[in-house]
Amino acid sequence: MLLVAGWTGAAYVEGSSYNPVTQTISVLGSYGAAGFWVMTTAFLALGVCHLLTAWGLRPAATAGRVALGGGGLAALVLVALPAPSSGGSLRHGAVVVVGFTLLAVWPVLAVNGGAAAPWALRLAPSVVATALMAAGGVWFLIEMGRHGDAGVAERVVTSLQSLWPFVVAASCLRHARQRA
């Protein structure tokens, strides 16, 4: 939950000028933001965690591990390409889209085996996880388009994307203990 700690700390540093309901996480990590260093640290930590998790999840299918690792790399690239202090950035937006997509599809790509596989690497839970992340992404796009509660939508979907690797790792550990 590094990302949650990051956006919470950065919003605290930013103060009342930041509205977490309507403004995105990228605003907190933009050039000139008071909490820039907090979000930069959170994105670095998140990227490293995703990379290490992808490397260590041996029971997951290779395609899923590559997608998770790609999501981690996208988080690291966001550090190099933060949002500008005002307006948008095509480069920043493109990295966000690639990272979101990789993190949304990795659960399905990581499926490995049937009923003998760890619970979180089975098809049904993985499809549900990917569907929830995709629905969250659609919700975020709708909120961005209508200038609504994009901050809330983004936080829900990124929380899911940050939590699922932990769920998978815990499921694999539990599965290994049960088999031993």
Predicted confidence (pLDDT) at residue 32 exceeds the cutoff of 90: no
Predicted confidence (pLDDT) at residue 52 exceeds the cutoff of 90: yes
Q: Are 7 and 152 in contact (CB under 8 A)?
A: no
Q: Please give the model's pTM, rounded to 2 decimal places.
A: 0.92
Please choose, from the candidates 156, 36, 169, the residue with its C-alpha nearest in 3D space to the C-alpha of residue 107: 169
- Percent over 70 (pLDDT), the chain: 99
Predicted confidence (pLDDT) at residue 64 exceeds the cutoff of 80: yes
| Position 7 confidence tier, pLDDT thresholds 50, 70, 90 | very high
Contacts of residue 112, defined as CB under 8 A and 6 or more positions apart, other chains included, come to 59, 60, 61, 64, 121
In angstroms, the CA 72 to CA 163 distance is 14
Model confidence over 77-127: pLDDT tens digits?
A: 999 998 887 777 889 889 999 999 999 999 999 999 777 889 999 999 999
Predicted confidence (pLDDT) at residue 179 exceeds the cutoff of 90: no
Written as one string, the DSSP assignment of 9-61 is HHHHHHGGG--TTTS-HHHHTSTT-TTHHHHHHHHHHHHHHHHHHHHH-TTS-
Model confidence over 130-150: pLDDT tens digits?
A: 999 999 999 999 999 999 999
Mean pLDDT of 58-82: 95
